[in-house]
A and B are shown apart, each in its own frame.
Chain A
Amino acid sequence: EVQLVESGGGLVQPGRSLRLSCAASGFTFDDYAMHWVRQAPGKGLEWVSGISWNSGSIGYADSVKGRFTISRDNAKNSLYLQMNSLRAEDTALYYCAKARRTWVAGAFDYWGQGTLVTVSS
């Protein structure tokens, strides 16, 4: 059974940093791209960042480029999101999602339950 478990969310002041983690199990982690998707309270889904199976390709939404860094550790079956210079508009539930392919061309077939990030003073 595929499982994605996010952690690392919490309340943080504007301008500070936070690191999210996603522990994956139930599939061959290094065969697939992985992504972070967020959802602000009462709003729609926003793709944040994605990383290919071997970390060779990485993408970011314009809203987080230069502030967030995605990474993965295939030996630990883990995905990470380093979030710096956090802003109030980064407040959201952050989902980890598995893609069906190694980079583009793969829809997101499994999702975690999310970890809540609240940016407030």
Chain B
Amino acid sequence: EIVLTQSPGTLSLSPGERATLSCRASQSVSSSYLAWYQQKPGQAPRLLIYGASSRATGIPDRFSGSGSGTDFTLTISRLEPEDFAVYYCQQYGSPRFTFGPGTKVDIK
């Protein structure tokens, strides 16, 4: 089973700042089958990025993903008030579709 580790656990930033979130896998993720999700309190998760770097439908271009192999990054170029949430990475290249523990982005 591929284990995903996310860092930092919490990121405290101000609106307008750049956010950089990390996701590291215990082994190489097949074909960059790595996704990022955003979850706000009381809501279901929302797909942001798939294939490590492709934005899902309707996702603003301030969200970008990069990486391959075992190291992946989600970048939010300029934080908007609605971006303060928890972000999860997920690998879906093997039949154990594991999630990382999440990074909370909160307002500084």
Contacts and interface: CB of A to CB of B under 8 A. Distances in A.
Interface of A: 35, 37, 44-47, 50, 57, 59, 61-62, 95, 99-100, 103-109, 111-114
A44 B47 contact: no
A50 B45 CA distance: 17
A113 B42 CA distance: 9
A87 to B, nearest CB: 20
B92 interface: yes
B44 A105 contact: no
Given A100-B50, A104-B33, A104-B92, A35 B97 contact: yes
B56 A109 contact: yes
Interface of B: 1, 30-31, 33, 35, 37, 39, 44-47, 50-51, 56-57, 86, 88, 90, 92-102
Nearest to A52: B95
Given A44-B101, A109-B57, 17 more contacts: A44-B100, A45-B90, A47-B96, A47-B98, A57-B95, A99-B92, A103-B95, A104-B33, A104-B93, A104-B94, A105-B31, A105-B92, A106-B92, A107-B47, A108-B90, A109-B47, A111-B46
Contacts, number: 70
8 contacts: A37-B45, A45-B39, A47-B90, A104-B33, A104-B92, A107-B35, A108-B45, A108-B90
Contacts of A44: 86, 88, 99-102
- Do most interface residues of chain B lie in helix, strand or loop, or is the interface mixed? loop
Among A35, A100, A103, A112, max chain B CB count under 10 A is at: A100
A87 B90 CA distance: 26
A47 B30 CA distance: 18
Contacts of A61: 96
Contact of A45 (B30, B31, B45, B46): B45
A100 to B, nearest CB: 7
A50 B95 contact: yes
Given A105-B31, A107-B90, A47 B44 contact: no
